[in-house]
């Protein structure tokens, strides 16, 4: 088999993923992998809440990402010293929230996890949350350990790399989870509300 056909194989694998993901929705698994969260009601097999992500938020509260289960949530990743994208990321979420009714907005949670646990201490996260006037009851700016950052990014399909001068290269995406932690929307549009993402939000909040 040539290089080309190896690559084709890989693409085929990628395509079959989509089909597999669809088939798996609604399935339930008896056992969850080590280090994962056990809830009273079994998680859907496609829930990202199977992944253990120990978080500490801007108020110093520690919790598992899976404890956010129960309400739709926007999740994304950022780092505080980022000058270009991350402020736009926060503005995009706020712009998106403005498209919702007060009732819808009240149901929505937001969790932003830092790529940079070394510098993004609780104190730094708190300052950022205050600077943006985030509603602490719904918004969590959170840090976790380096290994969990890598796993969460892999789960969310976000790429990032430390580039040695305190900065990170990273792709940006807002991920919309339903109440059980299944991905039901995604956008990389920045600076304004993505109309399709807003529609997905309204569906999941209705």
Return the number of the residue (118 or 135) whose C-beta is nearest another protein.
Answer: 118
User: CA-to-CA distance for 178 and 172, rounded, in angstroms?
Assistant: 20
The binding site for another protein (CB under 8 A) comprises 1-3, 5-6, 9-10, 13-14, 16-17, 19-21, 23-24, 27, 29-36, 43, 45-48, 50-51, 79, 82-86, 88, 147, 150-151, 153-155, 157-161, 163-165, 167-172, 188, 190
Q: How far is the CB of 158 from another protein (least distance, A)?
A: 7
User: CA-to-CA distance for 119 and 174, rounded, in angstroms?
Assistant: 22
Q: How far is the CB of 197 from another protein (least distance, A)?
A: 16
Nearest CA-CA partner of 136 in 59, 54, 68 = 59
**Residues 50, 56, 58: CA angle, nearest 5 degrees:** 130
Angle between helices 195-205 and 85-98 (to 10 degrees): 50
Return the number of the residue (98 or 188) whose C-beta is nearest another protein.
Answer: 188
Q: How far is the CB of 47 from another protein (least distance, A)?
A: 6
Return the number of the residue (107 or 151) whose C-beta is nearest another protein.
Answer: 151
Q: How far is the CB of 59 from another protein (least distance, A)?
A: 25
User: CA-to-CA distance for 177 and 156, rounded, in angstroms?
Assistant: 10
């Amino acid at each position: 088999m040539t290089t080309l056909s190896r690559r084709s194989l890989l693409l085929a694998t990628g395509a079959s993923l989509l089909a597999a993901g669809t088939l798996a929705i609604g399935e339930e698994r008896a056992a969850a992998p080590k280090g994962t969260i056990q809830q009273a009601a079994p998680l859907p097999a496609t829930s990202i809440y199977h992944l253990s992500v120990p978080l500490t938020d801007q108020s110093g509260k520690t919790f598992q990402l899976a404890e956010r289960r129960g309400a739709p949530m926007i999740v994304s990743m950022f780092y505080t010293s980022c000058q270009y994208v991350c402020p736009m990321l926060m503005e995009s979420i706020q712009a998106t929230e403005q498209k919702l009714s007060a009732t819808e907005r009240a149901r929505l949670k937001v969790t932003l996890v830092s790529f940079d646990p070394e510098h993004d201490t609780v104190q730094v996260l708190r300052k950022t949350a205050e600077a943006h006037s985030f509603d602490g009851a719904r918004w969590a700016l959170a840090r976790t350990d380096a290994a969990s950052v890598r796993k969460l990014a892999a789960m969310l399909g976000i790429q990032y790399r430390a580039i040695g001068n305190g900065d990170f290269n990273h792709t940006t995406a807002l991920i919309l989870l339903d109440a059980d932690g299944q991905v039901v929307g995604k956008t990389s549009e920045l600076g304004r509300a993505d109309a399709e993402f807003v529609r997905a939000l309204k569906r999941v909040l209705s």
